[in-house]
Amino acid sequence: MKAVSRTAVAALLLVSSAVAARAEIVVGVVQSQTGPVSSIGLPYVRGTAAGQAYIGEVGGEKFKVIVLDDASDPSTAAKNTRKLIEEDKVDVIMGTAGAPATAALIAVASELKVPVISPTPVPGVPKVDDKPWAVSIPQNPRDMFGIIVDEMKVQNIKTVGFIGFSDAWGDLVYNMTKRAADPVGIEIVTNERYARSDTSVRAQVLKVTAAKPDAFLNGGSGTGGALPLQGLAERGFKGKLYGGPSLINPDFVRLVGSAGEGIVVAAGPIVVLDQLPDTHPTKAMGLKFREAYQKAHGELTKDIFAPYAFDCWLILADAAKRALPNAKPGTPEFRSAMRDAIYSTKELVGTHGIYNYAPESHVGTDRRALVLVQLQGGEWKLYK
């Protein structure tokens, strides 16, 4: 037997240890931990931790999570995404909180062919080599605001005032609502906008009250979503109030106070978990989320956003289990296998809904993912 040099042995051990070390599945998380969207981004980070506490490994491979703060800035989100992919060699990206930053993140990840699971709704995703590389978790915006318009119709509402963010989220709320409202004869009579960082919407509120609509639709989110409602209350607005799930946030409830009383919002069933019948398809997973969150953080939460991130993790873990037999983590082949597995997700039960993806659909939910809730005395109550 020939002797093997110490140098050769050392080199062999170095290569072997590197391969062993990279066997873990690396998840890059870009989130808004500071800045205007942090009231949403921080719960997303906590929900991700709950997901990892619930499923820490699949197929014998552990998950490693790297979290970077995008400071609620789209350019920073794009930069951090590129860093995670090119320097940290992540297998999948999760993020982020704001719609503009999410769009920037998805553009970079798609270009570099790394799959994205987004806890934020996006109206569309780019394709690379005729393939989409991103999916979103939140309820289909068409359904979110379609169910609101259905309720407006029941209430015989004919005109609606709108104030929303001057960004992709505001556009999404307005466009999806208008798409559902036009065919049933409901007119949106104002389309007023404001920046997430604004501290007053007085001018926008005056235009809404001057139009005297039957109802008001809030196109804000998180803490910023309180401003229009506070302004309308000060002006004595008596119409019905509506909004999207992005308003279901403890900071929003605290800030809006009595100005938000009675607002009806389309939301995921996790929001009213204890009010759901035991037969509801997502109730059991909602209870498991609660246990996992308690395990990860030592406390419970009523936040709507942490469960979205938890559902991101469920989809990630399910896809990884199916991708691992086909490729090794840390390779382009595994990233591609993860993309294919994510897009073949079928009837996966989460806290917010039941997920099904296909190449032609980056939104995985249907109306099973929605209930109507109403803010009553500072608490969200099942409405219908």
Residue 5 has pLDDT above 70, yes or no: no
* Boundaries of domain holding 188: 141-267+370-382
Radius of gyration of the chain (CA): 22
61-69 and 25-31 strand pairing:
parallel
Tokens at residue 297, please? 């953080």
What is the value of pTM for the model shown? 0.81
98 band by pLDDT with thresholds 50, 70 and 90: confident
- Whether 243 and 293 map to the same domain: the answer is no
Domain membership flag for residue 363: no
Average pLDDT over residues 112-138: 94
- Report the pLDDT value the prediction gives residue 18, as an integer from 0 to 100: 42
Angstrom distance (rounded) from CA 159 to CA 152: 9
Instruction: Flag the least confident range among 47-51, 142-146, 206-210.
Output: 142-146
Residues of the chain with pLDDT > 70: what percent? 94
- Whether 377 and 251 map to the same domain: the answer is yes
Angstrom distance (rounded) from CA 135 to CA 77: 17
- Whether 74 and 189 map to the same domain: the answer is no
Contact (Cβ atoms closer than 8 angstroms) between residue 40 and residue 249:
yes
Read out DSSP for 150-191?
HHHHHTT--EEEEEEESSHHHHHHHHHHHHHHGGGT-EE---
- Report the pLDDT value the prediction gives residue 222, as an integer from 0 to 100: 86
Average pLDDT, the chain: 93
CB neighbour class for 266 (10 Å; exposed up to 12, middle 13-18, buried from 19): buried
Contact (Cβ atoms closer than 8 angstroms) between residue 129 and residue 337:
no
Domain membership flag for residue 15: no
**How many angstroms separate the most distant Cα atoms in the chain?**
94
- Report the pLDDT value the prediction gives residue 22, as an integer from 0 to 100: 53
Which CATH number characterizes residue 127's domain?
Answer: 3.40.50.2300
Tokens at residue 50, please? 């709950």
Domain membership flag for residue 3: no
How many domains, in total, are found in the chain? 2
- Whether 132 and 145 map to the same domain: the answer is no
Instruction: Flag the least confident range among 220-224, 271-275, 279-283, 336-340.
Output: 220-224
- Whether 67 and 133 map to the same domain: the answer is yes
**Is the alpha carbon torsion for 181, 182, 187, 190 positive or negative?**
positive
**CA-wise closest residue to 177 among 198, 195, 203, 151:** 151
- Whether 376 and 248 map to the same domain: the answer is yes
230 band by pLDDT with thresholds 50, 70 and 90: very high
Single-letter amino acid code for the residue at 338: M
**CA-wise closest residue to 270 among 138, 101, 99, 133:** 138
